[in-house]
Chains A and B, each alone.
Chain A
């Protein structure tokens, strides 16, 4: 059974075809990278997978279940976690709070009105564990907006991990990071790699080739090629369309 199955996804904005008949299967346990030049439709594809954008046509299945008509929270609860390219942390809340949100989401409904959530060990302990996993435990009590850029990206990841997802969708986790921070992020991702399925949308080729089991190349809204990193690297069309033109 594949973790994520996309069949014939189409989405147009006016005359622009953002995704044009995209079909893609991501195997359970695999780390699958999606690469493509700017404007290739990656953002739209992520939106379609998470449920923020409704496709004009096509089907999306998560772990064999058709989720095309599901909204964002329902898909999230079925095991899909994501990180955001531009960090979407809750300002005014600490790093630990932000991770605790994720823990809270998977512990059933939150129509609990009386007990103090910040003193709830069932929330705080797993959240702290997630922070530790990305090396942010010592920043637990800092407000999210007071963290450095790199730390915020790490927190994004920690929040996603705290959801204990089956499928992790990472939207350019290295964006805006220096080489040192980037290397650290690659290390962290390598550590979680075999524990869940990962879809990695990334610009940083080194990171992609270091982590991915398979790579799909998106160009002009369509999948140009899917294969192992080596196959993709050796493909002439990919090189023409993408690597040759604007790779890092």
Chain B
């Protein structure tokens, strides 16, 4: 069935596949660097869409899980590099250990924060998720041992099953695979029984409760899943930049994540990825073009919010959904 949505999805997939060739043809690795970043932010955007788009849970603190994932990887590598065990553990540089660890840490934080935040709703939920993220931000600023405000550098990228992933193409494929996995997983989840409850609760919470669904628990589970995906993205980001800092958790970044999701299109699996790409390209172009980039980017964000709440993907999808 080749409607506009499927065609556009196909084009996005082809674009990701074509990136390395484009880089060779253009003779610059920067295309790969940029596309890798798109893939990483794409994961965050997809995970945030699960909450905001499908669950109607506007989390304004998603950067916290992204940052925690990054810090988990950096701290594990820091302890290994400096030969100081942490709680008797020597640390690790192996991605297959460090990345799941990053997801676990982010998921655990999401569990605690979600358990408290999901007791509230609406604007209170927006604010309390923001406040918790700020709390973690200040915590990392104060953590002098791990660099505090200066952040923490990784001496090398993680090893992936013992192999080096410093080559930008190798790393690109890893990030794109992670993105593909997250998109596929989200797609399955959202159509599963679990996803039906999550979406049903967004449509009518009262109804779902009256049917016997303990909505809180399902939302909490979604919150944890989204947190874990963001944690994975943070781990990848830390590897790409070989650096983490509290800035990863800042509220401005949480805001940017929301912008990506909406710019791309809420409640569409591929839309948030397109949103991440658009956001990065526009921001990187504008801030290179003028030091007063905020004066152009701000109104642009505003126009998207006011006039295109369905985002780019909404425009692509057009009349498909009737």
**What residues of chain A have their CB less than 8 Å away from a CB belonging to chain B?**
50, 52, 71-74, 76-77, 81-82, 84, 88-93, 97, 100-102, 104-106, 110-118, 120, 123, 159, 163
Is the Cβ of B211 less than 8 Å from the Cβ of A159? yes
Is the Cβ of A88 less than 8 Å from the Cβ of B214? no
7 nearest CB pairs, A to B: A76-B212, A90-B203, A77-B212, A105-B212, A105-B211, A88-B207, A110-B193
The reply to whether the CB of B200 lies closer than 8 angstroms to some CB of chain A is yes
Contacts of B209 in A (CB 8 A): 71-73, 76
The reply to whether the CB of B290 lies closer than 8 angstroms to some CB of chain A is no
Closest to B187 in A: A116
Partner of B211, one of A92, A93, A97, A163: A163
Q: Is the interface of B mostly helix, strand, loop or mixed?
A: helix
Contacts of B204 in A (CB 8 A): 88-91
Contacts of A112 in B (CB 8 A): 192-194
The reply to whether the CB of B141 lies closer than 8 angstroms to some CB of chain A is no
Partner of A110, one of B191, B194, B203, B206: B194
Interchain residue pairs with CB less than 8 A apart (24): A73-B210, A73-B214, A73-B215, A76-B211, A76-B212, A81-B210, A82-B210, A84-B207, A88-B210, A89-B204, A90-B200, A90-B204, A90-B207, A93-B199, A101-B200, A104-B196, A105-B212, A110-B197, A112-B193, A112-B194, A113-B192, A115-B192, A116-B191, A117-B195
Closest to B267 in A: A92
Query: Chain B interface: which size bin?
Result: 20 to 34
Is the Cβ of B188 less than 8 Å from the Cβ of A113? yes
| B125-169 residues at the A interface, CB under 8 angstroms | none
Whole-angstrom distance between the alpha carbons of A120 and B213 in the complex? 19
Closest to B206 in A: A88
The reply to whether the CB of B189 lies closer than 8 angstroms to some CB of chain A is yes
Is the Cβ of B193 less than 8 Å from the Cβ of A115? yes
**Given A89-B207, A90-B204, A110-B197, also A117-B212 (CB < 8 A):** no
Whole-angstrom distance between the alpha carbons of A31 and B109 in the complex? 50
The reply to whether the CB of B183 lies closer than 8 angstroms to some CB of chain A is no
Whole-angstrom distance between the alpha carbons of A91 and B215 in the complex? 17
Contacts of B189 in A (CB 8 A): 113-114
Contacts of B210 in A (CB 8 A): 50, 72-73, 76, 81-82, 84, 88
The reply to whether the CB of B23 lies closer than 8 angstroms to some CB of chain A is no
Is the Cβ of A120 less than 8 Å from the Cβ of B193? yes
The reply to whether the CB of B81 lies closer than 8 angstroms to some CB of chain A is no
Contacts of B203 in A (CB 8 A): 90-93
Whole-angstrom distance between the alpha carbons of A123 and B197 in the complex? 13
Is the Cβ of A111 less than 8 Å from the Cβ of B207? no
The reply to whether the CB of B16 lies closer than 8 angstroms to some CB of chain A is no
